[in-house]
Structure 1
Amino acid sequence: MAEQTGQLAGQGSQDAAEQAQAVADFPQAKARTLRFTLGAPRSIRVVGDGRRAFFLRSDGPQDFETSLWMSTFDQEGQHREVLLADPRELLANAPEEEVPAEERARRERSREGGQGIVAYSADAAGHRLVFALGGKLWLTQLAPDGLSAQTRALGLAAGEDATGAVGEDVAGGGQLDKVHSILNPTISPDGTRVAYSTGRQLLVVTIGAQAGADTARVALSLAEGSGADCKLGLAEFVAGEEMDRYEGFWWSPGSDALLVEAFDASAEPVWYLSDPAHPDHPATARRYPQALSDNAQVRLFYLSLSSDGSASALAQVRWDWRAYEYLAVVRWQKDRRPLLLVQNRRQTQDQILDLRLDQLQVEGSTDGRTQVVDFVHLDNLPALETSVISTHANPQWLDLVPGLPAYTPDGRLAEAVIDEAADTTRLYVGGQALSPAGCQLRQVLDLGDDDVLAIVSSDPRSFDVMRFGYDGSLKVLNSRPGLWTASRCGRGIVMSGRTMQEPGVHAWHSLLAPGAQLDALICGGKDHSQGAVEACARLSSQAAQPGFTPNVDFVRLGADQLFAAVVRPSQSSPWAGEDHLPVLLKPYGGPGFQQVILSQSYYWESQWWADQGFIVLTADGHGTTGRGPAWDRAIFEDMAQVTLDDQVAAVQALPELVPQADLSRVAMIGWSYGGFLSALSVLRAPEVVHAACAGAPPTDWTLYDTHYTERYLGMDPAVYQRNSIVDDAPKLRRPLMLIHGFADDNVSVANTLRLSQALMAAGKPHTVLPLTGITHMTNDPVVAENLLTLQRDFLYQALGIQTRQ
């Protein structure tokens, strides 16, 4: 079964020549534009009554410096885009920004490739925003008309004297270091305070009426003598890398208290990152939560604040952390008690916990002193107990669904439930299913008075924004299938997404008429007949476009009807019209991620490869998301063989739909899990895959992190040995290129080196391409550009392909 959805549009020779040049220029363009994302609006958040939305955007298609912007409608409905803060202006006379190590780690975890203002925090009304830049804390204050703003630095900035800004009597030696990092600054809901972490201390800044009137206090600190592996107010490694939780503290809705994480990672193994190209540079030691080893000890604390921002009480939040060691979600909503979601080590059980703040007994006054967290004497702190309000279990694993658990405005619990009978992950509200069977829940965006906004999939290839009314109604809000998300507040909503019809991201800010329902929203325009939309505007983008449209067919392959995408050479390619072409498999293929999506951007690189003379096949096998819990869990404890079998089945079924596919010349390329699958294919299926390029492959699963790996492979070392590929080295009889960055702190370069060592010991020739100073993201433009051409040339030689001009 095939469905053609994309075709190069050029008909004349001039258009064909332009398109051929655009494809030829793709490696360089992709690298210099950060995969064509620079200059596009992102991190969009609607605030207040919905007339305003904040977002980040750089000034051009090759500009990495991101600024803070606002989309707003005035009272007449006229739309404006207002530049709120430009990092170049704010740091005009400053030296080049030095990003703290903890912030670099957060950006690596969140795959943040930009510079400048890369994150911001806004108050509930949308009048004030804060962000960190150049070692300083900044405040953007909107003018009363809401159409302009002023930005100034807040105290206390790194390197300034802390005298007078911190209480004189600071318990536990809590005086603020003169040089410190400003990490994850977050404004209070009422906009009067800002909290941020230094990694060792939590500061609360009270915003003054003018510059110089701000006051800062160290509200919470690690005890003097706490080891370097103890952190305060930050998320531990697996929270950021695997749970998509980057916060380490949370404001109360009343802006008078905080929940604060502290963790001690000293039980985790010590790993070292080094730069072999600079032997004079010392290696960097770090803790890594290696599978089958110990995790960080994570604790949560309740900190109440006095009117001046100083600490008034401290208590430890208790739950059964020996049975449930993962703190996956913390949520504190208006008029509600905090919610926690905790998981056991194997992620087969979780608990949703309710925190009873009325249990806190405060004895005496702290006199404004800094409160202290001491991991050695945690039992000395007052305790806040939690109560279990919901539990879930699954014999394989439980997924985390972003946005859940949470309360509806009227106090009902919203949670994700695996409906095994319907093979569907469903949204439950108040104990009742709200989303229908067959509609896979991916994320909850907003819980409103009348409805829920969520990202769902009925077709795995489309991430749809759907409105679920509490009355049972439902409506898909995106006008076309694609990769969509949304932000809503008041009467405003921004829908943003990618489709097969348009290149790049397009985002629409709409303001509904009073009393209008979202069902009447038309993304990208107004419903004039009903007058449902008061105003609507598209956010502008300066992002580059690749200059060609991928030539894609979507197909279903094999007995399991795998969702797959086939990309053929364009009309301008030297290989256009060939009767037989080699096949290039280009999968991710691993759990929790898809590549067969109804979005052009997923196939731009595939088109470049197709125009080098390949039939490019991407297939989503078992374990990839969107097809239901049973499909996901088919890889449990056997993900290597199951995911490889799917790729083999896809190749073998291809000629029935694509007769040009030459199965005597098949190669595979991939990165991360895709790199693992590529190396696996030439080791265990050499009769099917004849050459491979494996980028950053996790070849030995005992070298990957706990939360990801143990979810799929459990805790039995024998299962890890069966799913790892180092012992398969003697089987190699096909060309294999291994690619890895020495600075990769996610998939350690040890994975590639161990496989290479085993191949050498077995006398198996192979190629290793080391990338000095490169992390898992490979954001260096020169490296990113040359990686494509080097892999192409390697595969040409391996498969006996002659270059054509």
Structure 2
Amino acid sequence: MAEQVEEQAALTQAEEQTQQQAQLHIADYPQAKARTLRFTLGSPRSIRAVGDGKRAFFLRSGGPEDFETSLWMSTFDPSGEHKEVLLADPRQLLGEGADEAVPAEEKARRERSREGGQGIVAYSTDRAGHRVVFALGGQLWLVQVDSDGLGGSVRALGGQDAQMLDKVHNIVNPTLSPDGTRVAYTTGRELVVVTIGVDGEPDTMRLALALPQGESDDVKLGLAEFVAGEEMDRYEGFWWSPQSDALLVEAFDASAEPVWYLSDPANPSQPAAARRYPQALTANAKVGLFLVKLKTDGSAAGLSQVEWAHESFEYLAVARWQAGHGPLILVQNRRQTDDQILAVDVEHPTRSDESPEASDPGVLDFANRSQLPVLATEVLSAHSNPQWLDLVPGLPAYTPDGRLAEALVDLNTDTTRLGLDGQMISPAGCQLREVLDLGEGDALAVVSSDPRSFDLMRFGYDGSLKVLNSRPGMWTASRAGRGIVVSGQTMQEPGVCAWHTLLASGAQLDALACSGKSQPKAGVEVCSHLHSQAAQPGFTPNVDFVRLGEDQLFAAVVRPSVGSPWEGEDHLPVLLKPYGGPGFQQVVFSQSYYWDAQWWADQGFIVLTADGHGTTGRGPTWDRAIFEKMAQVTLDDQVAAVQALPDLVPQADLSRVAMIGWSYGGFLSALSVLRAPEVVHAACAGAPPTDWTLYDTHYTERYLGLDSAVYRRNSIIDDAPKLRRPLMLIHGFADDNVSVANTLRLSQALMAAGRPHTVLPLTGITHMTNDPVVAEHLLVLQRDFLYEALGVQSRD
């Protein structure tokens, strides 16, 4: 009996120590989050299986607070032993503290892709996975994998032509040719091809394509236009032919777009930076697509343009050029209610009598492109929807045997499904999110039957299917040959878990177990973890997943943790923490989504996150319920979630409710205190798009159309006189996505109406708020504001 008492006492003491440690970590959370880039530094990312699958490349920094990202290789030796090989370390290549010399166009690409790291942040491989290239410090670098596949060497790439030296230091998106013999990159005005020297021969550099001398800076070559990167997740502006002898190249003219200016008010001596912005209800950039055929030295042998109905379909949403097939593109009309999947005929350019042969095939005169030979396109498939059509990553594409894979909206079953040559092969109720790979006999995709879980699924072309992840979470994968690297986040582990698996010869993906266990199951030859050096927050969120209201909103409730000063309180204020807008979710089975929420809960709140209409994963009808009325619909969902909360969480004090959010979540926060002040009593709105005419075309017009009256109903400037609740507006002056004009216009309207409010300006901060000092203090400043607004006494 005495031994049992001692054992119980020891357990109690251990639990108390664990709780105390967790509270210390929660107290340190704002600083730790800032130092670790939201606990992502040191974690493997951008993982890509290559060749026969025995190798995979990935990026990882050197530790939990190291922003400098290096290139690594995961590989298996002949005995099956797993190795992680450091291929390229930016500090070794450039020297400690050296300037990375990131070009302005590359900085813009990183902002569009939400890239917060430094060093080697992107790379390209050949088809076989023998070579890797990347840009660093204004130089182009090549990694040559050893013949045994267990290591590699790195060197700078370059040429001896003095006329090309000014093209070397503005390298954007270097991309290896499929056969690994050439590298193409853009400077924004020129497309450069580097032929890699062999057997001691030097590398050579040639201009494959360039804009004419004196061409306006509004015309760009080889880059994705703003809305492609920001809204279509297309960051490429050129594509290699499978034979490595030609390039499909985008060029665009943004001169019709309005000119916007970004300035730094904290440094008035610095001039404002002018840029074109595709403002809603105004003109878009004019986009063209061109084929440049290459000579053996990498210079241009011929130039032609791709023809489609540009006036009717002004968006180039997808371009793809797969082995064994011609180019495939997807174009959309301005309203995104119609699209076409087009096959490009690159073998039979046509020329009219009025189109003389270009004198220099290496120069693209965008304004006079009608003189170029034309590459015809064939409509393979077309789609229409009265609200809008979504883009599904990985589609459209060809299967290896030439069938067309596309996303099909099945209104009869309210499901976005995978189609092959027009026949749906994925099941009803299984929402297609992304296609990762199209193999000989199956497709690997990310799907959701429960919107909170992003599942890996194998769709056999024979109708078979298999969910590959053993537990719910946010999963993705990369497949090549017999190899597959699976990575994901779940509620069971903090951070990203990743495994490199080599399937046994002849085995199907069904044999895969996403567990990373050292003893593989039948059908798996070898399987090993990729090491993560990422920090952990030191606590586990206290999350309950619930369904709320008549629409059964998916929601997450986070309460104060055990040991918190607020544990056991009968009544606690409610903090709404949504994104709440279209195209994104917050209620998912990933622990990392609730770390912020747990910090807030341990400041004395019941934290509620609810995904309303428009958020992904519940089907086309759910998504489109916000069309032309997204402000009111998304606000009504948050109000419904609050009103239903006490039925499940009796401690929720609905007399003290606040909302915080960023971007659309910031808009929703400001909207809530303006239009629902009886429900939400204070708000912190970060980077809110308060006037939707100040946001970009492709996103905004998808949901609000082209009627300016609809924009006025969904914007909140006119609501300023209604403000009766405390409101903090937060915005970065360097934000080129949601302009600070949104916050300033609302503040001006509030001032004109005599409504007190708080504005927190962030000088030099973009939409990502990656500055460690800002990230560290932003949470605390918002907490203190809400404490005062709701009458909460701190218990620090």
Q: What is the TM-score when the length of structure 2 is the normalising length?
A: 0.97
- Provide the residue aligned with 2:465 in structure 1: 474
SS at structure 2 position matched to 1:449: coil
- Provide the residue aligned with 1:397 in structure 2: 388
CA distance in 2, matches of 1:679, 1:778: 19
SS at structure 2 position matched to 1:436: coil
> Residue deviations 1:102-131, cap 9 Å, x none?
011000000000000000000000000000
Indicate conservation of the 8 Å contact 2:358/2:371, yes or no. no
Q: Does 1:578 align with 2:569?
A: yes
Indicate conservation of the 8 Å contact 1:162/1:177, yes or no. no
- Provide the residue aligned with 1:417 in structure 2: 408
How far apart are 1:99 and its partner, in Å? 1.1
> Residue deviations 1:380-399, cap 9 Å, x none?
11111111110000000000
CA distance in 1, matches of 2:200, 2:408: 50
CA distance in 2, matches of 1:412, 1:609: 50
Indicate conservation of the 8 Å contact 2:478/2:484, yes or no. yes
Tell which deviates more after alignment, 419-428 or 357-366: 357-366
SS at structure 2 position matched to 1:12: helix
SS at structure 1 position matched to 2:540: coil
How far apart are 1:224 and its partner, in Å? 1.8
- Provide the residue aligned with 1:265 in structure 2: 254
Indicate conservation of the 8 Å contact 1:526/1:535, yes or no. no
The one-letter amino acid of 1:664's match is S
Matches within 5 A, 1:694-733: 694-733=685-724
Q: Does 1:132 align with 2:121?
A: no
- Provide the residue aligned with 1:429 in structure 2: 420
- Provide the residue aligned with 1:748 in structure 2: 739
**1:93 and 1:758, CA in 2 relative to 1: closer, same or farther beyond 3 A?**
closer
Indicate conservation of the 8 Å contact 1:275/1:281, yes or no. yes
How far apart are 1:524 and its partner, in Å? 2.0
**1:364 and 1:697, CA in 2 relative to 1: closer, same or farther beyond 3 A?**
closer
CA distance in 2, matches of 1:624, 1:11: 42
Of 177, 186, 196 in structure 1, the residue corresponding to residue 166 of structure 2 is 177
- Provide the residue aligned with 1:104 in structure 2: 107
How far apart are 1:646 and its partner, in Å? 0.1
How far apart are 1:162 and its partner, in Å? 3.9
Q: Does 1:588 align with 2:579?
A: yes
**1:292 and 1:647, CA in 2 relative to 1: closer, same or farther beyond 3 A?**
same
Indicate conservation of the 8 Å contact 1:551/1:570, yes or no. yes
- Provide the residue aligned with 2:298 in structure 1: 309
Tell which deviates more after alignment, 601-610 or 358-367: 358-367
CA distance in 2, matches of 1:627, 1:10: 45
CA distance in 1, matches of 2:660, 2:472: 28
Q: Does 1:282 align with 2:285?
A: no
How far apart are 1:359 and its partner, in Å? 1.3
Percentage identity across paired residues of the two chains: 76
**1:534 and 1:102, CA in 2 relative to 1: closer, same or farther beyond 3 A?**
same
Q: Does 1:147 align with 2:138?
A: no
SS at structure 1 position matched to 2:642: helix
The one-letter amino acid of 2:76's match is F
How far apart are 1:12 and its partner, in Å? 2.5
Q: Does 1:61 align with 2:74?
A: no
The one-letter amino acid of 1:150's match is S
SS at structure 2 position matched to 1:177: helix
- Provide the residue aligned with 1:196 in structure 2: 185
> Residue deviations 1:566-595, cap 9 Å, x none?
000001110000000000000000000000
Matches within 5 A, 1:501-516: 501-516=492-507
SS at structure 2 position matched to 1:495: strand
CA distance in 2, matches of 1:336, 1:614: 57
CA distance in 2, matches of 1:309, 1:143: 26
How far apart are 1:11 and its partner, in Å? 6.0
How far apart are 1:529 and its partner, in Å? 8.7
Q: Does 1:38 align with 2:41?
A: yes
Q: What are structure 2's unaligned runs of at least 5 residues?
A: 1-11
How far apart are 1:97 and its partner, in Å? 1.7
- Provide the residue aligned with 1:534 in structure 2: 525
- Provide the residue aligned with 2:483 in structure 1: 492
**1:312 and 1:789, CA in 2 relative to 1: closer, same or farther beyond 3 A?**
same
SS at structure 1 position matched to 2:654: strand
- Provide the residue aligned with 1:5 in structure 2: none
**1:210 and 1:724, CA in 2 relative to 1: closer, same or farther beyond 3 A?**
farther
Of 270, 288, 291 in structure 2, the residue corresponding to residue 299 of structure 1 is 288
Indicate conservation of the 8 Å contact 2:91/2:97, yes or no. no
- Provide the residue aligned with 1:26 in structure 2: 29
CA distance in 1, matches of 2:681, 2:773: 28
The one-letter amino acid of 1:72's match is T
SS at structure 2 position matched to 1:422: coil
SS at structure 1 position matched to 2:25: helix
CA distance in 2, matches of 1:691, 1:804: 20
SS at structure 2 position matched to 1:618: strand
The one-letter amino acid of 1:199's match is G
SS at structure 1 position matched to 2:110: helix
CA distance in 2, matches of 1:568, 1:496: 29
Indicate conservation of the 8 Å contact 2:405/2:418, yes or no. yes
Indicate conservation of the 8 Å contact 2:358/2:372, yes or no. no
Of 577, 582, 601 in structure 1, the residue corresponding to residue 592 of structure 2 is 601
Of 105, 110, 117 in structure 1, the residue corresponding to residue 120 of structure 2 is 117
Of 69, 73, 98 in structure 2, the residue corresponding to residue 70 of structure 1 is 73
Matches within 5 A, 1:229-240: 229-240=218-229
Tell which deviates more after alignment, 350-359 or 698-707: 350-359
Indicate conservation of the 8 Å contact 2:518/2:528, yes or no. no
Indicate conservation of the 8 Å contact 2:520/2:526, yes or no. no
CA distance in 2, matches of 1:636, 1:144: 56
How far apart are 1:180 and its partner, in Å? 4.1
**CA root-mean-square deviation:** 1.6
The one-letter amino acid of 2:325's match is R
SS at structure 2 position matched to 1:141: strand
CA distance in 2, matches of 1:135, 1:370: 28
CA distance in 1, matches of 2:135, 2:59: 14
How far apart are 1:521 and its partner, in Å? 1.1
Q: What are structure 1's unaligned runs of at least 5 residues?
A: 1-8, 167-175
Tell which deviates more after alignment, 204-213 or 719-728: 204-213
Of 163, 179, 187 in structure 1, the residue corresponding to residue 176 of structure 2 is 187
> Residue deviations 1:481-523, cap 9 Å, x none?
0000000000000110000000000000000000011111111
Q: What is the TM-score when the length of structure 1 is the normalising length?
A: 0.95
The one-letter amino acid of 1:428's match is G
How far apart are 1:358 and its partner, in Å? 2.1
- Provide the residue aligned with 2:55 in structure 1: 52
Tell which deviates more after alignment, 790-799 or 524-533: 524-533
Indicate conservation of the 8 Å contact 1:37/1:543, yes or no. yes
**1:630 and 1:183, CA in 2 relative to 1: closer, same or farther beyond 3 A?**
same
> Residue deviations 1:597-636, cap 9 Å, x none?
0000000000000000000000000000000000000000
The one-letter amino acid of 2:484's match is I
The one-letter amino acid of 1:276's match is P
> Residue deviations 1:73-122, cap 9 Å, x none?
11111100000000000001783222111011000000000000000000
- Provide the residue aligned with 1:373 in structure 2: 364
Query: How many residues are treated as equivalent by the alignment?
Result: 782
CA distance in 2, matches of 1:93, 1:608: 36
The one-letter amino acid of 1:659's match is P
How far apart are 1:260 and its partner, in Å? 0.2
Of 729, 745, 749 in structure 2, the residue corresponding to residue 738 of structure 1 is 729
Asked which structure has the greater RCO (Cα within 8 Å, sep 6+), the reply is 1
Indicate conservation of the 8 Å contact 1:584/1:617, yes or no. yes
How far apart are 1:307 and its partner, in Å? 1.3
> Residue deviations 1:738-761, cap 9 Å, x none?
000000000000000000000000
- Provide the residue aligned with 2:318 in structure 1: 329
- Provide the residue aligned with 1:385 in structure 2: 376
CA distance in 1, matches of 2:722, 2:332: 39
How far apart are 1:337 and its partner, in Å? 1.0
The one-letter amino acid of 2:610's match is A
